[in-house]
Amino acid sequence: MTTPSGPSDADMEDYYRRFLPFRYLFQWLSHSPKVTTDFTKREIAYELRGDIYQRYQSYGSEKEFKQAVEKSNPLRFEIGAIYNVFPKDRKVLPKSALKPVAKELNFDIDLTDYDPIRTCCQDKAICRKCWKFIKVASNIIDTALRDDFGFKHILWVFSGRRGAHCWVSDARARNLDDLSRQALIAYFDVLGGEKRIKKPYHPALERAFEICKLEFDEIILHEQDPWNTKTKATPHIDANVEELLEFMPEKELRDALKAKWDKTPSSSLDKWKDINKVAAELFGKNKFKLTSVIDAKKDIIIRYLYPRLDVNVSRQLNHLLKSPFCIHPATGNVCVPFDPFHSLLDEDPTDYGFDPVTSPKLAEIQQEAENNKSSSSDAWDATSLKPYVAYFGKFVTNLYKEELHDRKRSADDDAGEDDLMF
């Protein structure tokens, strides 16, 4: 049973034996229904009990992979790079022999990075309200990856507690070297440490702003209400208000707003309206100053809702990341994939297709399997995991079908060149 300290050894053994969709994980990592070197030269790493970390494991088949996971019974396992040699042989090879050659492009969003502005939860806690930050961030990143870079095979996965991981699985993405990955993440890392964002906005940032603007009123002004000194007065809120004032482009505007807010505590919505009202009173028809206020408000919207990324996860080929469908060792949540735009469930009470509060948990799927008298190695089919596994299976099938098509086309092109030889 799952305890406050996480799932038991027996729970994890049961999960690996009956629920984890090894077949789809294998096909995803192999980029084929059959064994390829993309799988056999892939690093798998284990986090074991007693703070033991086991790296550079690799396997020759799906069966060998499944047997190894069941035997090791890890707290979780992570996916690493594809290497030029078999990672398991590294101890008998020169140190310089093992080199990463390919890996999915990853993005990592953690709600802890939103703690300065989320008021509903802090630290490890999460709710439907603050998950909306992930909703906006995944929308922005997914759209840019597809529209600006042409990637198609993008998988979003719940981290199991308070975040989301993105796996870009296209061959072009997997083959990016470290310098290319660093350049690509720099494209997304627009916030930096400066309050002011370079003008004019890049077209991609303008598109992101339009996404943020649609959600700003609901998420920031109403639900999070981070500048509310009327009913939420705390040092945390006071710091947020000071930051809001720092965005204002003119000292006289900052001073006037501060005096007004010090005198009359107000909500975030009221403060947002005050900015326009006080600016109009101070600057009249001075278009330059009024435009600078509009630009400042755009920067605020971006600053509060644009993705906050752990850029180190994206920069290097050999960075490890927790596998989809792992169990979070502290919460017992299954790290299920989700669609950032559509619900995977037939009936979803939210306006967004994933709810971290009600997502599958190990204890729940065990009970569901027992109720349905399912003891097979694909017991997920009789549980609330089913739509998530089906979604992953479809993603994997689309990926390896395209890879097969591209390999055939490449082979045909090579054959055509040979036909022209004299």
Q: Which region among 20-34, 333-347, 363-377, 405-419 has the lowest average model confidence (pLDDT)?
A: 405-419
Answer yes or no: is 293 within a domain. Answer: yes
Answer yes or no: is 355 within a domain. Answer: yes
Does one domain contain both 256 and 345?
Answer: no
For residue 407, the model assigns a pLDDT of 81
**53 DSSP 8-state letter:** E
What is the domain-level CATH number for residue 62? Answer: 3.90.920.10
Q: How far is CA 136 from CA 114, 212, 359, in A?
A: 13, 7, 19
Residue 230: Cβ-neighbour burial (10 angstroms; 0-12, 13-18, 19+):
middle
Sequence letter at residue 378: D
**Cross-strand bridge partners of residue 285:** none
Q: Which region among 128-132, 137-141, 260-264, 412-416 has the lowest average model confidence (pLDDT)?
A: 412-416
Please say if the pLDDT value at position 113 is more than 80. Answer: yes
Which pLDDT tens digit goes with each residue over 49-99? 999 999 999 999 999 999 999 999 999 999 999 999 999 999 999 989 999
For residue 57, the model assigns a pLDDT of 98
Domain containing 87: what range? 9-189+309-411
Q: In 3D, which of 144, 170, 141, 146 has the Cα closest to residue 156? A: 141
Does one domain contain both 268 and 172?
Answer: no
Domain boundary among 305, 320, 337: 305
Answer yes or no: is 31 within a domain. Answer: yes
Answer yes or no: is 194 within a domain. Answer: no
Does one domain contain both 36 and 158?
Answer: yes
For residue 422, the model assigns a pLDDT of 34
Please say if the pLDDT value at position 191 is more than 60. Answer: yes
Sheet of 105-110, strands arranged across? 105-110, 163-168, 154-158, 337-338
Does one domain contain both 275 and 322?
Answer: no
Answer yes or no: is 195 within a domain. Answer: no
Please say if the pLDDT value at position 27 is more than 80. Answer: yes
Does one domain contain both 13 and 154?
Answer: yes
Does one domain contain both 283 and 368?
Answer: no
Does one domain contain both 97 and 222?
Answer: no
**Cross-strand bridge partners of residue 419:** none
Answer yes or no: is 3 within a domain. Answer: no
Does one domain contain both 325 and 387?
Answer: yes
Active-site positions? 43, 108, 110
Sequence letter at residue 154: I
Please say if the pLDDT value at position 199 is more than 90. Answer: no
Does one domain contain both 300 and 314?
Answer: no
Q: Tokens standing for 216? A: 């700003």
Number of domains in the chain: 2
Q: How confident is the model at residue 217 (pLDDT cuts 50, 70, 90)?
A: very high
Does one domain contain both 298 and 315?
Answer: no
Q: How confident is the model at residue 179 (pLDDT cuts 50, 70, 90)?
A: very high
Residue 127: Cβ-neighbour burial (10 angstroms; 0-12, 13-18, 19+):
middle
Question: Quick one: which H or E segment has residue 255?
Answer: helix 251-263
Domain boundary among 305, 323, 355: 305
Considering the entire predicted model, what is its pTM? 0.92
Ramachandran bin of 265, using left for φ above 0, alpha for ψ from -120 to 50, beta for the remaining angles: beta
Answer yes or no: is 1 within a domain. Answer: no
Does one domain contain both 60 and 169?
Answer: yes
Answer yes or no: is 119 within a domain. Answer: yes
Q: Which region among 112-116, 286-290, 416-420 has the lowest average model confidence (pLDDT)?
A: 416-420
Domain boundary among 305, 320, 345: 305
Does one domain contain both 356 and 382?
Answer: yes
